[in-house]
Amino acid sequence: MKALKANRLINGNGNGVLEDAVVLVDGEKIVAVESANKLRIPPDAEVIDLGDRTLLPGLIDAHVHFSPEEAGHLYGRMFEPSQRKLIRATVDARNALAAGFTTMRDVGGRDAIYLRDAIAAGDIPGPRILASGLLITSTGGHEDPRYLTPDWVRQISHLSRVASGPDDCREAVREQYRLGADLIKIMSTGLGMLAQFTYKETEALIDEAHKLGMRVASHANGGPGLKDALKAGVDTIEHGTHLDEEDLAFMRAHNIFLCPTLAITEKLIGEGPKYGVAQYMVNAARDREDSRIQSFMKAYRSGVKITTGSDFGLRPFTRHGDNVLELVLMVKAGCAPMDAIVAATKNGAEALGLGDRLGQVQAGKVADLIATRGDPTDRIEDLYQVDFVMKTGAVFRQPASEDRHAGSSE
Contacts with Zn ion, residue ranges (CB under 5 A): 311
Please list, in sequence order, all residues whose beta carbon lies within 8 angstroms of the beta carbon of residue 398, skipping any fewer than 6 positions away: 48, 387, 388, 389, 404
Residue-by-residue DSSP string for 224-264? HHHHHHHHTT-SEEEEEEE--HHHHHHHHHTT-EEE---HH
User: Which residue, 59 or 259, is less far from Zn ion as judged by CB?
Assistant: 259
Q: What is the closest distance, in whole angstroms, from the C-beta atom of residue 289 to Zn ion in the complex? A: 16
User: Which residue, 311 or 387, is less far from Zn ion as judged by CB?
Assistant: 311
The answer to whether 28 and 378 are in contact (CB under 8 A) is: no
Q: What is the closest distance, in whole angstroms, from the C-beta atom of residue 116 to Zn ion in the complex? A: 17
Q: What is the closest distance, in whole angstroms, from the C-beta atom of residue 294 to Zn ion in the complex? A: 20
The residue of the chain with the least Cβ separation from Zn ion equals 311
User: Which residue, 5 or 288, is less far from Zn ion as judged by CB?
Assistant: 288
Q: What is the closest distance, in whole angstroms, from the C-beta atom of residue 312 to Zn ion in the complex? A: 9
User: Which residue, 36 or 193, is less far from Zn ion as judged by CB?
Assistant: 193
Q: What is the closest distance, in whole angstroms, from the C-beta atom of residue 87 to Zn ion in the complex? A: 21
User: Which residue, 5 or 219, is less far from Zn ion as judged by CB?
Assistant: 219
In 344-391, the DSSP E strands lie at 369-373, 386-391
DSSP-derived secondary structure letter, 59: E
For residue 255, the one-letter residue type is N
User: Which residue, 311 or 350, is less far from Zn ion as judged by CB?
Assistant: 311
From CA 82, how far away is CA 77, in angstroms rounded?
A: 9
DSSP-derived secondary structure letter, 71: T
Q: How far is CA 135 from CA 162, 205, 226, in A?
A: 8, 11, 16
For the chain, the distance separating the N- and C-terminal CA atoms, rounded to the nearest angstrom, is 23
Please list, in sequence order, all residues whose beta carbon lies within 8 angstroms of the beta carbon of residue 321, skipping any fewer than 6 positions away: 92, 95, 96, 98, 99
The answer to whether 336 and 343 are in contact (CB under 8 A) is: no
Q: Nearest Cα to 211, choosing from 203, 219, 223?
A: 203
Q: What is the closest distance, in whole angstroms, from the C-beta atom of residue 404 to Zn ion in the complex? A: 37
Beta bridge partners, 69, equal: none
Q: What is the closest distance, in whole angstroms, from the C-beta atom of residue 239 to Zn ion in the complex? A: 8
User: Which residue, 201 or 311, is less far from Zn ion as judged by CB?
Assistant: 311
CA angle in degrees (0–180, nearest 5) for 136-138-144: 80
User: Which residue, 14 or 145, is less far from Zn ion as judged by CB?
Assistant: 145
Q: What is the closest distance, in whole angstroms, from the C-beta atom of residue 243 to Zn ion in the complex? A: 18
